[in-house]
Amino acid sequence: MNSRRLAITLFTPVFLVCLVAAAGVLDHLRTYYPTPETESAFLKNYTPRPVIDRFRENKSFSFGSGFAAGAGRKYVTHQGGFQFHVVMRRENWLPLMNALHNDVLEQLANNGAEVVGQSGNWQVGFRFDYRINQSLGLLIISPVAVGPPARRTILLRDGMEDVTVKIEQTEKWFPKGIVRVEQKL
């Protein structure tokens, strides 16, 4: 009986230590999956289309958008983007890029985001680093690019060009919140 009691007395603490260690390992190995709750309000609501519509020259244009998400052990990643093929005048490139820049800042503020860094200009594009709740985000507006030419039966008027406007977003949602702002995407 004494040896049985001794075995239980020794085994119980060892078992408890192993159980606690296993729980820690399992928590560390937990995978977080994308859900609507892991998307920020900005990611859900941002659209550059009203700005693009103000600068395009005619009703003919094409527009594409895409969104993806990925699971992870430390964070959940969300990616999205927009690509517009429009006809516009070259002299409107600078006003368009400045309007897109200002619109991003306004939409970030309206959705509760804090801009933690921004850089660029209309010729090289703009980069915005932001944080919102438990997410770190990055938005890139590429510079206006000529092409690709659209297939059309009527030629463009003088001064008009086919251009592409591209915007990319990436957000990382951290289940335990953002530890440091210095983390980069």
The whole-number pLDDT of residue 65 equals 85
- The structure's pTM equals 0.78
Q: CA dihedral in degrees (162, 147, 68, 55; nearest 10)?
A: -30
Average pLDDT over residues 147-172: 81
Apex 143 CA angle, 139 and 149, nearest 5: 120
Indicate the pLDDT class of residue 59, thresholds 50, 70 and 90. low
Task: Give the model confidence (pLDDT) of 70-121 as tens digits.
Answer: 999 999 999 999 999 988 888 999 999 999 999 999 999 999 999 999 999 9
The whole-number pLDDT of residue 163 equals 87
Q: What is the average pLDDT value for the chain, to the nearest integer?
A: 85
d(CA 137, CA 131): 6
Give the residue carrying structure tokens 């001064």: 159
Pick the residue with more confidence: 166 or 147? 166
Token output for 87:
């006809």
d(CA 32, CA 127): 27
The whole-number pLDDT of residue 181 equals 44
d(CA 132, CA 45): 13
The whole-number pLDDT of residue 61 equals 73
